[in-house]
């Protein structure tokens, strides 16, 4: 994918994530969403099982699996549907995608420039702190523009 298209995609996703930002602090009920909603609606495990086409012990297991994180997305969607609910699934970045890329670019640029600075120091060609900062910022911007194939590699 071309850098221009990646930037557009990041911008579109960041707009979506901005609408979901309040979800970052949302905590599921201690008993899990399924059990909390089932109990709030006054449905027994047997009644939910009938709606879902499974046994009451399977409902108990679904609710336990939700809490432990073992419940599949498909099962969660089906259970939500049986509760007349909408199952929503999202991966929401802690910060904007641009910020994540900026942090990685700074990390990569810092590593790359430290190797260059060390070589220059050995050759008695050290540069001033201001020049190093300018070189760092230039490298960061270049990395953001190009997103090289090894951008996310720990060996960058």
Q: What is the pLDDT along the chain (156 residues), one digit of tens a residue?
A: 777 888 899 999 999 999 988 888 889 999 999 999 999 999 999 999 999 999 999 999 999 999 999 999 999 999 999 999 999 998 999 999 999 999 999 999 998 888 765 555 445 556 677 888 898 999 999 999 888 999 999 775
Domain-embedded: residue 152? no
CATH code, 41:
1.10.260
Determine the structural domain holding residue 27 and report its residue range: 21-82
Tell me the C-alpha distance between 13 and 9, whole Å.
Answer: 6
Q: How far apart are CA 79 and CA 129, in angstroms?
A: 60
User: Exposure of 143 by Cβ count < 10 A (0-12 exposed, 13-18 middle, 19+ buried)?
Assistant: buried
Residue 14, in any domain of the structure: no
């Amino acid at each position: 994918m071309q850098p221009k298209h990646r930037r557009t995609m990041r911008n579109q996703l960041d707009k979506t994530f901005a609408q979901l930002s309040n979800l970052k602090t949302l905590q599921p009920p201690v008993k899990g969403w399924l059990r909390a909603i089932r109990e709030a609606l006054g449905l027994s495990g047997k009644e939910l099982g009938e709606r879902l086409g499974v046994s009451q012990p399977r409902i108990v297991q679904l609710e336990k699996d939700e809490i432990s994180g073992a419940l599949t997305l498909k099962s969660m969607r089906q259970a939500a549907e049986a509760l007349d609910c909408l199952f929503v699934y999202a991966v929401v970045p802690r910060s904007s995608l641009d910020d994540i890329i900026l942090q990685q670019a700074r990390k990569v640029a810092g590593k790359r420039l430290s190797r260059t600075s060390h070589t220059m120091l050995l050759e008695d060609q050290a540069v001033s702190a201001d020049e190093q900062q300018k070189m760092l910022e230039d490298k960061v911007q270049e990395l953001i523009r190009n997103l090289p194939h090894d951008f996310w590699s720990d060996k960058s």
